[in-house]
Amino acid sequence: MEKIRGFEVAKGFEDKGINLPERKTKYSAGYDVEAAEDCVIPAFKPGQKPVLVKTGIKAYMQDDEYLMLCNRSSNPGKKGLILANSVGIVDADYYENPDNDGAIMYAFYNFFAEDIQIKKGDIIGQAIFQKYGIVDNDSAQGERVGGFGSTNK
């Protein structure tokens, strides 16, 4: 079978009981993504870096697609969690990169006064595959050489 788009377990998570993302209803745009392990997201303090929550998954897709990582709609109100980058973008060439195999993570801040516990298997966000266009005079020739945050390195 030709691979068009989908999810796989990332290297290092093969024996961790990772569930691949699923849509819960036939009209859902997003695939529900779970946390790969327990973690704590501390109450926000100025200057604090976001917590990267591991999912244990990677995604493959067509060259003219990306995977949009969105927050779960209930996270801000129930858990005080917001995405540090508002929305995450996973490019097609992130898959199986040499740094981290394309393992996907969500970057969260917690704006509640107390620390928030995330349990393995908790749904932390949604992932939506999207097509994109390029301009007529596009001349991008660069090749990905790393993982998370490696663009322009």
Give the CATH number, domain containing residue 52. 2.70.40.10
pLDDT digits (tens, 9 = 90+) for 16-57: 999 999 999 999 999 999 999 999 999 999 999 999 999 999
Confidence category of residue 101, pLDDT binned at 50, 70, 90? very high
Mean pLDDT of 69-89: 96
Q: Report yes or no: 50 and 124 within 8 Å, Cβ to Cβ.
A: no
Q: pTM of the predicted model, to two decimals?
A: 0.91
In a domain, 137, yes or no: no
Confidence category of residue 1, pLDDT binned at 50, 70, 90? confident
Domain boundaries, position 40: 6-16+28-131
In a domain, 127, yes or no: yes
Residue 66 token pair: 């990306």
pLDDT exceeds cutoff 80 at 96: yes
Length of the chain: 153
- For the chain, first and last CA: distance in Å? 35
pLDDT exceeds cutoff 70 at 144: no
Give the three-class secondary structure for 94. helix
Q: Which residues pair with 66 in a beta bridge?
A: 91, 130
Total domains in the chain come to 1
Tokens 């060259």 -> residue:
63
pLDDT reported for residue 153: 56
In a domain, 84, yes or no: yes
In a domain, 82, yes or no: yes
